[in-house]
Amino acid sequence: MGQPDVLVIGGGPAGLACATALAKAGMRQVLVAEREAEAGGVPRHAGHWGFGWESHGRLMRGPAYAARLLVEAQAAGVTVATGTTVARIEGPGRVVLHDKTGLHEVVAGRVVLATGAREGTRAERLIGGARHPQIMTTGTLQQMVYLKGMVPFRRPLILGAEWVSYSAILTCRHAGIRPVALLDEGQGGTDAAPRWFAPATRLAFAIPTLRRTSDPVILGRGRVEAVRFTRDGRQEELACDGVIISGRFRPEASLLAGLACPPGVILAGNVTGPLKTAGGAAMAGRGAARQILGDT
Amino acid sequence: MVQEFDVAVIGGGVVGLAILRRLAMSGLGTVLLERGADILSGASKGNSALLHTGFDAPAGSLELACVQRGAHEYRAIRDRLNLPLVASGAYVVAWDEAQEARLPDLLAEARANGVTDTHLIGGVALRMAEPRLAPGARAALHVPGEAVIDPWSAPLAYGRQALAHGATILSRAEVTGAAEGPGGWTLTTRRGEVRARAVVNAAGLFGDRVEALIRPSPFTIKPRKGQFVVFDVPGHTLVNAILLPVPSERTKGVVLFPTIFGNLAIGPTAEETDEREGATCDRATLEGLRARAVEMVPALAQAGVKTIYAGLRPATEAKHYRVEAVPGRAWITVGGIRSTGLSAALGLAEHVADLYASHIAPLPGQPPEPVWTPVPNLAEARDRPWEQGGEIVCHCERVTRDEIRAALDGPLAAGDLGGLKRRTRAMMGRCQGFNCGAEVRAMAAAAGLPDACGGEGRDGAA
Ligand SMILES: Cc1cc2nc3c(=O)[nH]c(=O)nc-3n(C[C@H](O)[C@H](O)[C@H](O)COP(=O)(O)OP(=O)(O)OC[C@H]3O[C@@H](n4cnc5c(N)ncnc54)[C@H](O)[C@@H]3O)c2cc1C
Ligand SMILES: Cc1cc2nc3c(=O)[nH]c(=O)nc-3n(C[C@H](O)[C@H](O)[C@H](O)COP(=O)(O)OP(=O)(O)OC[C@H]3O[C@@H](n4cnc5c(N)ncnc54)[C@H](O)[C@@H]3O)c2cc1C
């Protein structure tokens, strides 16, 4: 790994597309460090349709899209190191990698941070009530359903009505899970879905969207049994056997914590803030590549 | 098959486990009966994890004696059990004139309690020690001996050492009946009958209910809930010590403290509740806690929330510990260990061994050589396994596959998902399992943990 021209941190759509573009433009040593055992990022576990439009002009299922991006990277000569975590950024171009053999220092010409985003957690949203294993983000559910074949509940409530909440519905449908409703907490969403989504989900999936709700509290002894919330000033309760905490994305930028904007680090994809589609993230990765090529 | 023991300990909280350890190491045949799917299913699963000096404990109390004896023993044995300690010290911070006026009394109390290294410091010295503290901090009582420990690994280590000394630990073994016969007690549990010559009731939040199996309980548990907010910041970058409030008549106030896992937390509240299990959080209280933390350390305004939790103190109608050897019966009650049980556990265990010897039977003459059973390190300030390589599964907390496997296997393996988290830190980071949740659950499910895929942790699993 030694001294790559560019080290891309994160092998999701943004990282892979960036690395591919760099290699195609003739850059020799492009290294993608991906901490998971497989590259591809979120699409790897999003088994439903809806990926790739912006970057490839057609829609694919997530895993197909992830595989496609990986094949393109490898064909272009990119080295994709999986099971490889960037443990910390030490300074300009200086990065410490972790893999199964231990910690290794790498000095790269440029560093691209493409570590993506994650959904806001129950704790970050200060959602009160009981703590049970049947409470999880869409991302966790998706990996359970598509990667592990696990079905943690049958009638969950979805907290949030953002784009990703509809990914939660598709994931549920795949596993025979029937969500009870979507609860929209109003302000605070990171990526509000268009107005027509609510009527569409009611029509297509018979799942109501309850708007203007607040203060959700998870109830249940031994397991999730219901969610209580306020709507239009009144308390309501919905029975459910699980809760999907969806949306409110946060950039996964913990590598930058404590660093005063380390020079030479370029951000690409979801790590830059407002949520993008996977294809959009790939396009952002290509944009970052153009920026690097323009600089050198 | 009925199993027979010298002593049965009811309750696998930190107190019961420390007692089990002490009695097993004395050479007695011991069993611990725990209601939950794992140890630490009650008060001991959510606390502040501070190892107290007893500087503010009631003078002359059993609590003070046990806290000091317990903390002393913890320091003496921790290296051999691989248990961490961050010697952070604590400041009791005065934020107004009235509070400042109370500090000399607190100092006198501390000195009277034998905590002689405490002293008063002024605002300037305080700010030099804690530069991030809000300007309102006027003065403080410095208690250098207060420390931060790992609330889960310590009781785990006690349990493992007890196992190495021949103890038996049964989970999902709620005690529902106790009958006294000529040879001792017959306990009815969900896993069959257990016979023991003597019984120790260390059932924490259910101590009164277990006591009522043999007599009208001399105390009633009145659970007192404490909620916490843990910030997603490296604790030591903002605050070095434990920051305690000056207690008032009305409230003890909340503490801002570094955790052994490398973060900064605020809590606990003190709320009367009817809940005896499954402590719940509520948003208004959490927001209040967060606001209080920002008032104390303004830089926390930018910090994210890593996790929220609540714990239940097994308080009773009185302040003091409810410990006694029931006269004429081979039954020792260890109840109402309200808010210092983590610190006092090893001291309470010594006390129980003394009670056993004086009221029930002499301890075996020749105790066995101690066997030391070091536990895996979870403390952030010490070397952690991932630094040596291996496959990281939980990226936020950097937990390796081997650590998770080890916790699912071997002596005192995790009994539910919560137990797995407490043994490894997996899923406890800023993403709360967004990335690793499915992998960790799949590993747990493969090991047979019933709640890993949405079922219930306890008996009667879905
Ligand atoms: C549940 C869900 C459903 C979605 N559904 C759709 C959809 O239907 N259609 C659509 O277009 N978009 C969808 N999206 C959005 C889309 O998946 C993302 O916008 C896209 O994956 C972002 O790409 P990225 O490369 O920026 O980040 P990611 O895909 O998140 O990739 C980041 C990668 O970086 C790695 N990484 C992080 N930190 C490190 C480190 N320190 N060292 C090494 N590697 C690291 C991660 O393991 C990950 O593989 C969905 C997102 C979610 C969460
Ligand atoms: C918010 C908070 C903060 C705290 N901070 C600190 C601190 O900083 N430092 C400190 O030293 N202490 C602290 N404490 C106090 C400490 O956590 C408690 O004193 C201690 O956990 C009590 O332990 P225990 O073993 O007595 O009870 P528990 O932990 O409740 O253990 C009792 C066990 O018995 C089991 N049980 C109940 N009924 C039965 C039955 N019928 N049969 C079998 N098993 C049964 C339960 O499942 C449980 O596991 C704090 C407590 C709280 C709540």
Q: Is B335 in the pocket of ligand 2 (CB under 6 A)?
A: no
Which of A60, A115, A276 has the most ligand 1 atoms within 8 A of CB, as the residue to mutate?
Answer: A115
pLDDT for residue B461 is more than 50 = no
| A103 contact residues in B (CB cutoff 8 A) | 387, 389
State the alpha helices, DSSP H only, in A25-125. 53-56, 62-76
pTM as predicted: 0.96
Q: Which ligand is nearest to the CA of A111?
A: 1
For residues B456 and A223, the answer to whether their CB atoms sit within 8 Å is yes
What number is the average pLDDT over the span A46-63? 96
Residue in A with minimal Cα distance to B231: A124
pLDDT for residue A1 is more than 90 = no
Q: How many angstroms separate the alpha carbon of residue B379 from the centre of ligand 2?
A: 21
Q: Is the CB of B437 less than 8 angstroms away from the CB of A215?
A: no
By the CB < 8 Å criterion, does A263 face chain B? no
Nearest-angstrom CA–CA distance, A207 and A238: 13
**How would DSSP label each residue in A193-256?**
PPTTHHHHHHHHH---EE-SEEEEEEE-SSS--EEEEEETTEEEEEE-SEEEE----EE--GGG
What number is the average pLDDT over the span A76-89? 97
Same fold, B3-48+152-221+318-359 and B86-146+223-312: no
Q: How confident is the model at residue B357 (pLDDT cuts 50, 70, 90)?
A: very high
Q: How confident is the model at residue B237 (pLDDT cuts 50, 70, 90)?
A: confident
What number is the average pLDDT over the span B314-319? 96
Q: Is the CB of B417 less than 8 angstroms away from the CB of A133?
A: yes
Determine the pLDDT at residue A198.
83
Average pLDDT, chain B: 95
Backbone angles phi, psi at A194, to 5 degrees: -65, 155
| B437 contact residues in A (CB cutoff 8 A) | 136-137, 139-140, 143-144
What number is the average pLDDT over the span A226-233? 94
Nearest-angstrom CA–CA distance, B446 and A18: 38
Q: How confident is the model at residue A69 (pLDDT cuts 50, 70, 90)?
A: very high
State the alpha helices, DSSP H only, in chain A. 13-24, 53-56, 62-76, 138-142, 148, 163-174, 197-205, 278-295
* Per-residue model confidence as pLDDT tens digits over B325-334: 999 999 999 9
Residue of B306, B262, B345 lying closest to B52 (CA atoms): B345
**How would DSSP label each residue in B26-92?**
TT--EEEE-SSSSS--SGGGSS--EE---TTSPTT-HHHHHHHHHHHHHHHHHHHHT---B---EEE
Determine the pLDDT at residue B163.
98
Question: DSSP letter at B326?
Answer: P
What number is the average pLDDT over the span B399-424? 97
Determine the pLDDT at residue B184.
95
Q: Kindly give, in sequence order, each residue whose CB lies less than 8 Å from that of residue B101, ignoring residues fewer than 6 positions away.
A: none
Tell the residue number behind the tokens 């129980």, with chain if given. B352
- b vs e for A9-39, b when ≥16 Cβ sit within 10 Å of the residue's Cβ? bbbbbbbbbbbbbbbbeebebbbbbbbbebb
CA distances from B104 to A236, B98, B246, B247, B261 (A): 52, 12, 11, 13, 33
What's the alpha-carbon Rg for chain A, to the nearest Å? 20
By the CB < 8 Å criterion, does A253 face chain B? no
Which CATH number is associated with domain A6-118+250-295? 3.50.50.60
What number is the average pLDDT over the span B440-449? 97
Give the nearest ligand 1 atom to A13 CA.
25
Nearest-angstrom CA–CA distance, B396 and B26: 42
Give the nearest ligand 2 atom to B14 CA.
25
Nearest-angstrom CA–CA distance, A19 and A8: 7
For residues B10 and B210, the answer to whether their CB atoms sit within 8 Å is yes
* Per-residue model confidence as pLDDT tens digits over B274-286: 999 989 999 999 9
Residue of A293, A284, A296 lying closest to A17 (CA atoms): A284
Determine the pLDDT at residue A128.
95
Which CATH number is associated with domain B3-48+152-221+318-359? 3.50.50.60
For residues B385 and B402, the answer to whether their CB atoms sit within 8 Å is yes
Q: Kindly give, in sequence order, each residue whose CB lies less than 8 Å from that of residue A69, ignoring residues fewer than 6 positions away.
A: A13, A16, A17, A20, A39, A40, A43, A282
Residue in A with minimal Cα distance to B457: A222
Same fold, A6-118+250-295 and A128-245: yes
Helix (H, G, I), strand (E, B) or coil at A18: helix
What number is the average pLDDT over the span A271-287? 94
Q: Is the CB of A129 less than 8 angstroms away from the CB of B281?
A: yes
Q: How many angstroms separate the alpha carbon of residue A41 from the centre of ligand 1?
A: 4
Q: How confident is the model at residue A187 (pLDDT cuts 50, 70, 90)?
A: low
Q: How many angstroms separate the alpha carbon of residue B63 from the centre of ligand 2?
A: 15
Q: Is B63 in the pocket of ligand 2 (CB under 6 A)?
A: no
pLDDT for residue B457 is more than 50 = no
Structure tokens at B447: 């090991």
Nearest CA to ligand 1 atom 8: A50
Q: How confident is the model at residue B459 (pLDDT cuts 50, 70, 90)?
A: very low
Q: Is the CB of A147 less than 8 angstroms away from the CB of B438?
A: yes
Residues in chain B: 462
Worst-scoring range by mean pLDDT, A248-252, A272-276, A277-281, B140-144?
A272-276
Q: How confident is the model at residue B456 (pLDDT cuts 50, 70, 90)?
A: low
Q: Return the CATH number of B86-146+223-312, one of 3.30.9.10, 3.30.420.40, 2.102.10.10, 3.40.50.1010.
A: 3.30.9.10
Q: Is the CB of B437 less than 8 angstroms away from the CB of A143?
A: yes
Worst-scoring range by mean pLDDT, A219-233, A261-275, B388-402?
A261-275
Helix (H) or strand (E) holding B401: helix B401-407
Sequence spans of domains, chain A: 6-118+250-295, 128-245
Which of B169, B170, B206 has the most ligand 2 atoms within 8 A of CB, as the residue to mutate?
Answer: B206
Q: Is the CB of A131 less than 8 angstroms away from the CB of B278?
A: yes
Q: How confident is the model at residue A290 (pLDDT cuts 50, 70, 90)?
A: very high
Determine the pLDDT at residue A2.
72
Q: Return the CATH number of A128-245, one of 3.20.20.70, 3.50.50.60, 3.30.590.10, 3.20.20.100.
A: 3.50.50.60
pLDDT for residue B213 is more than 90 = yes
Sequence spans of domains, chain B: 3-48+152-221+318-359, 86-146+223-312, 385-446
Q: Which ligand is nearest to the CA of A59?
A: 1
Nearest-angstrom CA–CA distance, B83 and B73: 12
Q: Is B151 in the pocket of ligand 2 (CB under 6 A)?
A: no
By the CB < 8 Å criterion, does A116 face chain B? no
* Per-residue model confidence as pLDDT tens digits over B243-275: 999 998 767 789 999 999 999 999 999 999 999
Question: DSSP letter at A162?
Answer: B
pLDDT for residue A199 is more than 60 = yes
Q: Is the CB of A121 less than 8 angstroms away from the CB of B442?
A: no
| A35 contact residues in B (CB cutoff 8 A) | 392, 395
| A119 contact residues in B (CB cutoff 8 A) | 434
By the CB < 8 Å criterion, does A88 face chain B? no
For residues B201 and B333, the answer to whether their CB atoms sit within 8 Å is yes
State the alpha helices, DSSP H only, in B87-231. 97-112, 123-129, 153-164, 207-211
Residue B417: CB atoms within 10 A of its CB come to 27
Q: Is the CB of A129 less than 8 angstroms away from the CB of B280?
A: yes
The partner residues of A8 in beta bridges, in order of sequence, read A32, A112
The count of C-alpha atoms lying within 13 angstroms of the C-alpha of A56, restricted to the half-sphere facing its C-beta, is 20
Q: Is the CB of A100 less than 8 angstroms away from the CB of B395?
A: no
Tell the residue number behind the tokens 């049965």, with chain if given. B8
Determine the pLDDT at residue B389.
96
For residues B430 and A251, the answer to whether their CB atoms sit within 8 Å is no
Nearest CA to ligand 2 atom 1: B226
